Structure 1
Amino acid sequence: MKVRVITKADIQANLAMSEVIPMVKKAYRALATQQVIMPPRLQIPVEEKEGVTLFMPAYLKQENALGSKIVSVFPHNAQFKRPTINAVFLLISSETGVPLALMEASWLTALRTGAASGVATEYLARTEAKIAAIFGAGVQGRTQLLAVSHVQPLTKVWVYDPNREAARNFVKEMKTWGSSVPSEILVASSPQEAIKEADIICTATTATRPVFNGADVKPGTHINAIGSFTPEMQELPEDIITKAKIVVDSRPACLEEAGDIIIPWRQGLITPQDIYGEIGEIVLGSLPGRVDDEEITVFKSVGLAIQDVIVAQLILEKAQQHNFGQEVEL
């Protein structure tokens, strides 16, 4: 059999955030209309390294898109200047079951995760939102900014990371991305400085405790929380969860995996009924998004395999059209 091998460089050179956001929106719509098969992802913890490897299969029926991602998250890699997230994706023919493509998937993951926040920001942020705060100066933080900037005309961005060198490098690199992001990108000296004027907050960290104080969040703020994906991880303070409109990518997934939801639930501060809805329901129009300029909205995402599959299918289609990647006989 022949399998097309697609590298990270191939994807970076040929796939734009403007193409990914509509695909992720389509995946959320498919989930809301029950047109997907998506088992709970299998997590294999590597406790001695505080890492985890995830196996994430999915099938989108109407799109004929089938495949699985294997992704590892090892937070301590950053100490050795290695990527925290490493991943591959295997795309499979839904007609024959034959493997079609194997692609590097850390950039795919970053793009689709950013796109998820782009979709949520489109429906949940105030239309006049202009200033964003990014927590986490890694790859995910970069694509969060890229996606939010695509759907919202930002004028200023604050970035906070406990590693100030990482934050400075973030600013330096993002300033080279041209008009796709705001020209004014600043390093915040504290979480409070980052969010004091923020209309949109994106958290993209591996934190196990809240990364900012809920009292510092102003009314009308929209928050994209994408870093917490295990019950022990937490980015958002409980007092934000208890007063915000909570929108999730998947109720079952977030109630099983998202510490930002599970921790206050275990404390008796919220119940599953306090989740307003899934983003797909809002995309479909069966639920309204933001209803006034004062409410605080939270989009909690743990990441779904359907996002990976639909974006991987797009990557293969583009590879076939533009002849990138390498076909390998197995």
Structure 2
Amino acid sequence: MLILTAKDIEQFYTMKDAISADKEALKIYTQGNCDVPLRINFDMQKGQCLFMPAHIQGSDIVGIKIVSVFPDNPKLGKPSVPAQVLMLDPQTGEVCAMLDGTFVTQLRTGAVQGAATDLLARKNAIRAVLIGTGGQAISQLEAMLTVRSLTDVAIFDIDTQKAKQFANDMKQRFAHFSTNLYFSQNLDEDISQADIITSVTTSKVVTFNGDKVKPGTHINGVGAYTPEMHEIPENIVEKANIRVLDTKAGVFAEAGDIIDPIQQKLVSKDDFFELGDLVKAPALCRQNDEQITLFKTVGTAVLDVYIGYDIYLKAKEKGIGTYL
């Protein structure tokens, strides 16, 4: 069995690799060529364990992500949300690899936003806004920088000091992009100038003013993943010209910022595409520079498993990782 840590994976697997893999994974999903059961949740005395399996037909890629949520872990010097991705050998059924699941989750979640932004944002987009500076924020920022040549990215968080520190840290981390990364002191103004908006929070209220969004903007809703959470303003969901989801089954069941507008009959389920539809048929993507486009993701195990196996194969080729 090959053990791959975050540091191992960072040596050779790029955000571009992940974006390409996510596009292919969601195309396979939309074509109906995979089995993705509902995740299994176990409530335990000190936390919760979640099991997320997937099987990709044809290639017989099988794997499972195991995620635990144990709030008291930091007191023990351990992460509160430990995760691992286990891959099975298609030929023998044996576990052939174990990957750092926290890193894989961050990577594939940033990449799926990058895939949507690549397919939907204007080609000449230069200004972006990132709302939220939590654990997913770094990969979200990297994905936007990877798919568009951005001149400016405004960074906002309700925790002002955290946002300022994040902006400073990212200036160093992503200096090679030559993008002006700065703390947003006036979110409404930055939203009104943005070509791309990415919100990655667990907020129960909308995170920006939809009335400030200009024509031609692309919006990503990444963080809200329960019916109680709402990042994206309802008027944006209503007036978006193209509405895209990672998976309809997941978003319609879990994302409050999409569920509520449907229940209020502002939009219907028929008004949405899956990202896999756009990968299969690029003509469904943006048709002009005035359209407002919207992407919503809640995640799916097919992303973890497909990208996990891709990482495993590349690591074997390069001789990276530790065998047990």
1:273-288 paired onto structure 2 within 5 Å: 273-275=270-272, 277-285=273-281, 288=284
SS across alignment from 1:324: coil
Q: Which one is further off, 51-60 or 120-129?
A: 51-60
Deviations 1:191-217 (A, max 9, x none): 324412110011111111111111111
CA deviation map 1:236-263 (0-9, x unaligned): 1111111112100111111111112112
CA RMSD of aligned residues (A): 2.6
Partner of 1:121: 117
- Give secondary structure in 2 for the equivalent of 1:293: coil
Match of 1:267 among 242, 250, 264: 264
Once the two structures are superposed, the pairs formed by residues 212-231 of structure 1 within 5 Å of their partners are: 212-231=208-227
- How far did residue 222 of structure 1 move? 0.3
- Unmatched runs of 5 consecutive residues or more in structure 1: none
Q: 1:79 deviation in Å?
A: 12
Note closer, same or farther for the CA distance 1:68–1:221 as it changes in structure 2 (3 Å cut): same
Residue of structure 2 equivalent to 1:249 = 246
| Deviation (angstroms), 1:61 | 1.9
User: Which of 20, 40, 55 is equivalent to 1:22?
Assistant: 20
| Count of residue correspondences | 323
Report 1:42-121 matches (<5 A). Answer: 42-44=40-42, 53-72=49-68, 85-121=81-117
1:186 aligns with 2:158: no
Q: Distance in 2 between matches of 1:141 and 1:169?
A: 13
Identical columns (%): 37
Judge which range, 248-257 or 174-183, deviates more. 174-183
| Structure 2 runs not aligned, ≥5 long | none
Change (3 A) 1:64 1:180: farther
Distance 1:28 1:320 in 2: 24
Cα distance in 2 between the residues matched to 1:189 and 1:82: 34
Give the TM-score of the pair, scaled to structure 2: 0.91
Farther off after superposition, 216-225 or 54-63: 54-63
C-alpha displacement of 1:179: 5.0
Q: Structure 1 residues 84 and 181, CA, compared in 2 at 3 Å: closer, same or farther?
A: farther
Q: Deviation of residue 166 (structure 1)?
A: 1.8
Distance 1:31 1:63 in 2: 13
| Match of residue 36, structure 1, among 34, 47, 50 | 34
What SS does structure 1 have at the residue aligned with 2:55?
A: strand
- In the alignment, the residues of structure 1 paired with residue 260 and residue 75 of structure 2 have an alpha-carbon distance, to the nearest angstrom, of 28
Q: Give the Å deviation of 1:59.
A: 1.3
| Alpha-carbon displacement from aligned partner over 1:47-95 (angstroms, at most 9, x marks no partner) | x99x865321111123332101123467999999986653211111222
TM-score when normalising by structure 1: 0.89
